[in-house]
């Protein structure tokens, strides 16, 4: 038999499992016993159980006379919640070793076996046991209430998959790469249907995404899973969708464009299930692309709640979009999302922007949409930086009509009156950049006519930027911001009175600022002397300009 080659699995957890020594198992069992934080007595009992299970597993492996131990272990797994971890370990020990010895190896499918000798009977029985315990493990993954137990079951399952991939149960047909796809699919389904805990399980599973064969096969299985649901007539619930999208997010496809389109990556090393003798594994990018397109076609038609739709858009923009065959088909979907408001429309906007930029989409009303996104609520979403970044890109053209750009400037200025200080900074620089790009906008800060107007001609409620009459107005808001309470904002707003710089301000530095940064900065500022009041207060109220006691009866 070929000697097992030691290979490194992520975090080295599975590495030791190839040839476990007695002491290692003991420590593992002790560790798993620690995971159950019960009273001392249950702990004692648990450790006793785990010891017993361990010895049973060792006995099983040592001679075939103890074959019934396996059945006992499988029976125990269902008996008690606290017995699951040691049982999992025992099963892991047994099957890893059995797979390595090829004890379950059959030349022909079990149904075709004509001569029933004891050896093949034993092998068939072993296979049944293996399938049985596999389903038990998956049940633990999807249903166990404890996340630690779930992750343990997951890692056991992955180890078994790896081992089976190395030592297949049946003879291979050609020089093909074998991966136990059935088991992987079942495992994925178990994870996806595990409800809220799915995120953590997926995070654990993500460690395997570095193996190209795992990545490929996961993508290959995603579509059958989605289709399988539809065939059964089930509608995926919110948690399932979230987990599904999360899975897509965590198994990113290799970036295209490193070579030619659809180039296959030749990856011989670093496989989870690399058999001896097969040294050519090729990641077929065309298959991957096909899988992505199919999967996405399915996912788009599920029923989405706003939360999952947001997630969907994020995944779409960051992972999937470059791999789609016909991204322009997304336009309608993105248009619809654009109208739903808030973060979703923002993300949709970004998608449309990508389409415009890379795929020649023409969209006439895009500036109106962008204009309508600037609402006071935008400052309290976490996609604020994205919005500013995007609109900076949109408005970067110098060929835009001036009245539209002026409308943006004016609207932003209005918003700055209700914005928190860090956003005022961004807005001020944004407006400054607009004025720099479009010198005609200088009229907003320097109107040579010096006329009086009874009221601001700008119409805030107008949805169409070109009809908002912004060019007839002035940026009085910036003048007001000069007397903002915070000195930083005040000085930043001073730019309207100073000659404009020749280079635009760099927005990217301040996009991620928050108010704590401002606080820290102000805390660090040191002035030479600290000014003090000169009126000695006799009581709580100031000698002059007291305001608090006008509204408060404090003493």
Partner 1 sequence: MVKVKKGAKKGSSDAGKKKLPPKALNPFEVHVNRQKFQVLGRKTKTDRGLPGVARAKALKKRKATLLQEYKLKDKSNKFVDRRIGERNSAMTVEDKMTARFTAERMRAQTRKAMFNLADEEVLTHRGQTLNEIEKFEDPRSDDDDDEQDNPFQAKGNLDAEFVSDAHFGGGLLSRSHEDGAKSRKDLIDQLIAESKKRKAEQQKLREQTLDLTEKLDTDWKDLLPIINSAPKAAEVEKPKPDSFDVLMRELKFEARGKPSDRLKSEDEVAKEEKEKLEELEAARLRRMQGITDSSTDSGPKHRSADDLDDGFAMDTDQDESENEESQKNEDGGSADEDVDESDNDDMNSERAEEVDDGDGENSSESEDDDIDDLRYDSSDNENTSDHEEVESTSNIAKCLSEPHSSKVQTGNRKNTAALSDKAESIREDLRKRKELMDAARKELPYTYEVPSTYEELQIVLAGRSPEYQGVIVERMIKCTHPSLANGNKEKLAHLFTLLMQHLHDAGSADANENVCWAVLDRLVPSLFDIVQWCPDDTAQCIKHVIQEKHQEYSKSRKKFPGVETLLFFKLISLLFPTSDFRHPVVTPALVFMGQMLSACRLETRQDIAKGLFLVSLFLEFTALSKRFSPESVNFLRNVLYLSTSLPDTHKVTSAGKIPVVRPLPPVKIFAVPRFSLRPNFGESSFRNYEPTDRLCASDLISKDPVDIDFCMTALLVSLRALSSMITQLSSLPACRHIFSPFPPLLESLCMEDRLPKRIKEEIQKAQKEMASVRETSLNHLVSAPKRPKPLKLYEPNIQQVYADGKQHRPISKEKQEREKLLHRYKREKKGALREIRKDRDFLAKIRIKQQLKSDAERREKVKEIFGHAAMQQGEMRKLSKGKKKK
Q: Minimum Å distance from CB 276 to partner 1?
A: 49
State the CB neighbour count (10 A cutoff) for residue 535. 9
Other beta carbons less than 10 A from residue 339's beta carbon:
11
Which one, 247 or 405, has the nearer CB to partner 1?
405
- Minimum CB separation of residue 125 from partner 1 in Å reads 59
DSSP letter assigned to residue 483: T
Using DSSP's 3-state secondary structure scheme, residue 211 falls into coil
- Closest CB to partner 1 among residues 67, 417: 417
- Tokens of residue 285, six digits: 């990018």
Burial of 402 (0-12, 13-18, 19+ CB in 10 A): middle
Of the pair 164, 477, the CB lying nearest partner 1 is at: 477
Q: What is the H or E stretch that residue 512 is in?
A: none
Q: Which is nearer to partner 1, 106 or 486 (CB)?
A: 486
Q: How far apart are CA 217 and CA 193, in angstroms?
A: 19
Task: Enumerate the H helices of 17-117 as residue ranges.
Answer: 22-35, 40-62, 68-79, 84-101
Q: Is 495 helix (H, G, I), strand (E, B) or coil?
A: helix
Tell me how far apart the alpha carbons of residues 316 and 324 are, in angstroms, rounded to a whole number. Answer: 10
In the complex with partner 1, the residue whose CB is nearer, 503 or 527, is 527
CB of 513 vs partner 1, minimal distance in Å = 12
Angle in degrees, CA 136, 74, 20, rounded to 5: 95
- Tell which residue, 320, 385, 315, has the closest CA to residue 346: 385
Name the token pair of 188: 């994925």
The smaller minimum CB distance to partner 1, of residues 135 and 519, is found at 519
State in angstroms the smallest separation of the CB of 431 from partner 1: 13
CB 475 within 8 A of CB 444: yes
By C-beta, is 272 or 443 nearer to partner 1? Answer: 443
CB of 539 to partner 1, least distance (A): 5
Question: Which pair of structure tokens corresponds to residue 21?
Answer: 């020594």
Residue 60 near residue 67 (C-beta atoms within 8 A) = yes
Torsion angle defined by CA atoms of residues 28, 31, 36 and 39, in that order, rounded to the nearest 10 degrees:
120
- Count Cα neighbours of 326 within 13 Å in the Cβ-side half-sphere: 5
- As measured in angstroms, the least distance from the Cβ of 260 to partner 1 is 48
426 vs 368: CA distance, rounded Å? 21
**Least distance from partner 1 to the Cβ atom of residue 465, Å:** 18
**Considering beta carbons, is residue 1 or 532 the nearer one to partner 1?**
532
Query: Least separation, in Å, of the C-beta of 552 and partner 1?
Result: 5
Nearer to partner 1, 267 or 417 (CB): 417
Residue with tokens 């609520």: 377
Contact 181, 217 (CB under 8 A): yes
Smaller CB separation from partner 1, 357 or 494: 494
For partner 1, give the closer residue by CB, 116 or 532. Answer: 532
What contacts 344, CB < 8 A, 6 or more positions away? 306, 309, 310, 313, 337
Closest to partner 1 by CB, 19 vs 539, is 539
Report the nearest approach of partner 1 to the CB of residue 15 (Å).
Answer: 41
Distance between CA atoms of 267 and 251, rounded to whole angstroms?
Answer: 17
Minimum distance from residue 303 beta carbon to partner 1 (Å) = 23
**Rounded CA gap, 239 and 449, in Å?**
62
| DSSP annotation of 463 | S
Q: Which of 528, 515, 512 is nearest to 488 (CA)?
A: 515
Q: How far apart are CB 256 and partner 1 at their closest, in Å? A: 40
Which one, 70 or 435, has the nearer CB to partner 1? 435
Tokens describing residue 415: 């918003």
Give the span between the Cα atoms of 272 and 268, in whole angstroms: 11
Provide the minimum distance between the beta carbon of 510 and partner 1 in the complex, in angstroms, as a whole number: 16
Kindly give, in sequence order, each residue whose CB lies less than 8 Å from that of residue 512, ignoring residues fewer than 6 positions away.
385
Least CB distance to partner 1 at residue 30 (A): 37
């Amino acid at each position: 038999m070929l000697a097992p080659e030691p290979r490194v699995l992520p975090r080295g957890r599975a590495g030791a499992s190839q040839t476990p020594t007695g002491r290692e198992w003991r420590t593992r069992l002790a560790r798993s016993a620690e995971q159950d934080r019960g009273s001392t007595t249950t702990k004692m009992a648990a450790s006793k159980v785990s010891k017993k299970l361990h010895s049973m597993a060792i006995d099983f492996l040592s001679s075939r006379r103890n074959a019934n131990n396996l059945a006992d272990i499988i029976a125990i797994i269902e008996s008690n919640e606290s017995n699951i971890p040691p049982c999992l370990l025992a099963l892991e020990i047994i099957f890893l070793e059995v797979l390595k010895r090829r004890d379950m190896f059959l030349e022909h499918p079990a149904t075709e076996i004509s001569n029933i000798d004891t050896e093949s009977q034993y092998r068939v029985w072993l296979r049944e046991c293996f399938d049985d315990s596999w389903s038990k493990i998956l049940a633990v993954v999807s249903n166990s209430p404890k996340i630690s137990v779930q992750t343990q079951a997951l890692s056991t399952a992955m180890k078994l998959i790896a081992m089976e991939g190395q030592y297949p149960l049946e003879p291979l047909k050609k020089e093909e790469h074998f991966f136990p796809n059935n088991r992987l699919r079942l495992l994925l389904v178990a994870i996806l249907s595990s409800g809220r805990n799915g995120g953590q399980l997926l995070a654990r599973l993500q460690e395997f995404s570095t193996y190209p064969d795992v990545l490929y096969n996961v993508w290959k299985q995603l579509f059958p899973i989605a289709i399988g649901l539809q065939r059964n007539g089930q509608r995926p619930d919110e948690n399932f969708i979230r987990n599904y999208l999360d899975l897509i997010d965590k198994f990113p496809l290799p970036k295209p464009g490193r070579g030619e389109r659809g180039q296959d990556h030749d990856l011989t090393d670093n496989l989870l299930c690399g058999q001896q003798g097969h040294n050519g594994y090729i990641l077929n990018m065309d298959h991957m692309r096909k899988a992505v397109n199919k999967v996405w076609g399915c996912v788009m038609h599920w029923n989405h709640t706003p939360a999952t739709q947001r997630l969907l858009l994020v995944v779409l923009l960051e992972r999937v979009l470059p791999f789609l065959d016909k991204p322009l088909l997304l336009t309608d979907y993105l248009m619809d999302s654009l109208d739903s408001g808030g973060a979703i429309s923002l993300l949709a906007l970004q998608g449309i922007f990508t389409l415009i930029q890379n795929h020649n989409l023409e969209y006439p009303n895009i500036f109106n949409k962008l204009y309508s996104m600037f609402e006071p609520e935008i400052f309290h979403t976490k996609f604020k930086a994205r919005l500013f970044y995007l609109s900076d890109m949109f408005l970067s053209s110098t060929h835009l009509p001036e009245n539209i750009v002026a409308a943006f400037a004016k609207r932003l200025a209005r918003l700055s009156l209700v914005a928190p200080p860090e956003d005022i900074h961004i807005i001020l620089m944004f407006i400054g950049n607009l004025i720099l790009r479009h010198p005609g906008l200088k009229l907003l800060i320097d109107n040579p006519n010096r006329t009086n107007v009874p009221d601001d001609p700008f119409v805030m409620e107008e949805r169409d930027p070109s009809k908002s009459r912004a060019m007839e107005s002035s940026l009085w808001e910036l003048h007001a911001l000069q007397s903002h309470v915070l000195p930083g904002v005040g000085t930043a707003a001073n730019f309207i009175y100073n000659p404009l710089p020749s280079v635009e301000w760099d927005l990217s530095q301040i996009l991620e600022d928050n108010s704590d940064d401002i606080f820290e900065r102000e805390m660090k500022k040191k002035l030479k002397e600290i000014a003090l009041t000169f009126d000695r207060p006799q009581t709580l109220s100031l000698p002059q300009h007291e305001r608090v006691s006008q509204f408060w009866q404090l003493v």
